[in-house]
Amino acid sequence: SSELTQDPAVSVALGQTVRITCQGDSLRSYYASWYQQKPGQAPVLVIYGKNNRPSGIPDRFSGSSSGNTASLTITGAQAEDEADYYCNSRDSSGNHYVVFGGGTKLTVL
């Protein structure tokens, strides 16, 4: 099965823009979905598909993809955006599997 690779930690100054990336062969064929997880809470879907936000997700969250890399961009990061972020996609082997990235810890300075 495929693997998705994320940077373990990223930091951003309050109000600035940050990009969190996810790399893997499956991303050449499928879009990534992105999840935000705060301590002690379940993950929350923030981006899916080409660049879709579920209801209630602020528009400062956006997604993009190029080649084998998917990106989650937070434009104007807020203190409440400090969290772990995970990507996932369908497996590239053509079956029904799913794979998650290892997660990125975002710190807002």
* Binding piece for another protein, criterion CB under 8 A, among 9-17, 29-37, 57-65, 69-77: 29-37
Beta-ladder partners of 85: 36, 104
Q: What sections of 10-103 are H helices per DSSP?
A: none
65 makes contact with another protein (CB under 8 A): no
For residues 15 and 60, the answer to whether their CB atoms sit within 8 Å is no
Helix, strand, coil share of the chain (percent; to 5) = 5, 50, 45
Question: Which of these, 28, 24, 46, 48, lies nearest to 37 by C-alpha position?
Answer: 46
Mark residues 86-105: x for contact with another protein by CB under 8 A, - for none.
Answer: x-xxx----xxxxxxxxx--
- Nearer to another protein by Cβ, of 71 and 88: the residue is 88
To another protein, the closest distance from the beta carbon of 53 in angstroms equals 11
Give the interface with another protein as residue ranges (CB under 8 A): 1, 30-31, 33, 35, 42-45, 48-49, 54, 86, 88-90, 95-103
